[in-house]
Each structure stands twice: as structure tokens, then as C-alpha cells.
Structure 1
Amino acid sequence: MENRIIHPEGWAPAKGYANGVLASDGTLYIGGQIGWDAQQVFASDGFIGQMEQALINIRTILEAADGQPEDLVRLTWYVTSKQEYLDNQRAIGEVYRRVLGRHFPAMTMVVVADLIEDRAVVEIEATAVLKRRS
């Protein structure tokens, strides 16, 4: 099996990057997802709304590769405000569990000065190992 680009049906084209790459060994690399929807439109400027959409995007890419949240092995979060993250931990946990369940892979949080998309306040990249399912 060769590496395969994963692009969910109905999503606007990714320009200059891939949303996901499924490697021949079953590892799924999900590029950084931000708080815009399948048509690359932001519905929220707030941290919680954008975080939720980024996690939904990750789940959608997983599902497009026949994966599920339990296949996630790593998440790396890039946030523009440490304080906003700290002030919203309860809501973050509630949203996370609603979107990805109670599966908690290895995670890293990095505070950055800015993100490429001007409206983005959070970006999350993921790695999953897809199990063969019969």
C-alpha cells in the first residue's frame, strides 16, 4: 500500500498542503486543523468554538480514513493565549469529550505568537495509528 492523501468529501480544496496523509504502515498524519469548517469559513472567533471545530475536523479526517478517535496516539495544540486556555479548562474538557470521547492520547500544548490564518486562535495537529478492522 502506498501513502494516500485523505481529503474528506465535500471539503474545500487544501492548497499547498494535505489535511491528512495515511502512510503505508497505517499511521495517519493529520495536518494542523483550525476553527474553520469544511468550506474554510470561521463560525466563531472564540477559543472554545474554534477548538471544537478543529476537533470536529480531526474526527472527520479520521473517519474519512476509516479511523475513529480511539486510534489517536498524539495531539499537538498550538494556542495564541495561554491564559484563555487556562481560564476555560472546564469547557475545554466538556467539548473534548463531546467530540472525541474519553480517549486521551499523548498531548503537547505550545503557546505561539500567531497562526497563519489571521482569525485562528488554536491549531491542533494529530497522529493516529489505524487498526485493521474486519
Structure 2
Amino acid sequence: MRVLLPEGWAPPQGYANGIEVPAGRIVFIAGQVGWDAQQHFQSTEMAPQFAQALDNVLAVLAQAGGEPRHICRMTAYCCDKPAYLAARAELGAIWRQRMGRHYPAMSMIFVSDLLDHPGLVELEATAVLPAAS
């Protein structure tokens, strides 16, 4: 996996502009919200929901035999921009605890609502695992 940073561009903070990956097994992970395995929200706060949503993404990825380092793209949908901005430091700590310093190509999209109430954030991802030998 190679992070793409065009010459002369300032490095982005907390994401990559692009990722180049040699051919392998592609895993598409549907949007995951901050509920537990039984589809119950344990919190209505941003940070715990983000942590659970990221854990859910990583659980689906692990089912395919993948690890956090295999994620090359992630899109986050959030319906509470002020809560997201207020929790950025805590969200960064949650990210580093689970993902280390691996930052895939990412987008953050603020939306009016999510399907699953009282969800505040939804994460979807694409990972590329090494080709099976």
C-alpha cells in the first residue's frame, strides 16, 4: 500500500489524499453505526458511538481475515457537526487506539439524519487484503 501525495502538496492531517494498492482481495464494508452486535445503541454521545461504529467496521473486516492496516478508504457520515467538532480530540484518541497511525483516504460528510436512530455517525470502508496464496 502506498500513500499518494502529489509533489508540492502539504501533507493532510488525519487522512490520505489517495492510496495505491496492488491487486488483492477487495472487502467492501457497509455503513456501520454505533450500535452493538444486537443492534442496540448503548450511548447517545458522539465519542462512544464513533468507537462502536469503528469497532463494527473492524469486526466485519476481521471476518474476512483483514486488519486495520488493510483499510484504504473510509467515508464517515455524521448528523451533528458541532458534536463532532467538540469531540475531535477524543475521536482522534479512539482512532489511534484502534488504527494506530494508519490513515486511509477519507471523506467526512455531514448529513441531516441517519436511518438508525439515535445514530450520530456512520462509517463505511473499503479494504484490500493480500491476494490468497
- What TM-score comes out, normalization by structure 1 length? 0.78
Q: Runs of 5+ in structure 2 lacking a partner?
A: 1-23
Equivalence for 2:30:
31
- Contact residue 71 and residue 127 of structure 2 kept, 8 A: yes
> Hey, what's the Cα distance between the residues in 1 that align with 2:86 and 2:40?
26
In the TM superposition, what is the alpha-carbon distance from 1:132 to its structure 2 partner?
A: 3.3
SS in 2 for 1:45: coil
SS in 2 for 1:128: strand
In the TM superposition, what is the alpha-carbon distance from 1:41 to its structure 2 partner?
A: 1.1
- Contact residue 25 and residue 132 of structure 2 kept, 8 A: no
In the TM superposition, what is the alpha-carbon distance from 1:87 to its structure 2 partner?
A: 1.2
SS in 1 for 2:76: strand
Residues 5-56 of structure 1: per-residue CA shift (max 9 Å, x gap):
xxxxxxxxxxxxxxxxxxxx61100000000011111111100000000000
Letter in 2 for 1:92: L
SS in 1 for 2:77: strand
Q: 1:79-90 residue pairs with structure 2 within 5 A? A: 79-90=78-89
- How many residue pairs are counted as aligned between the two chains? 110
> Hey, what's the Cα distance between the residues in 1 that align with 2:40 and 2:87?
23
Q: Which has the higher contact order (CA 8 A, sep 6+)?
A: 2
Structure having the higher Rg? 2
Q: 4+ runs of 1 displaced by more than 2 Å?
A: none
Q: 1:121-132 residue pairs with structure 2 within 5 A? A: 121-132=120-131
Identity within the alignment, %: 43
> Hey, what's the Cα distance between the residues in 1 that align with 2:90 and 2:78?
16
Q: Runs of 5+ in structure 1 lacking a partner?
A: 1-24
Equivalence for 2:19:
none
Do structure 1's residue 52 and structure 2's residue 51 form an aligned pair?
yes
Equivalence for 2:95:
96
Equivalence for 2:107:
108
Q: CA RMSD for the aligned pairs? A: 1.3
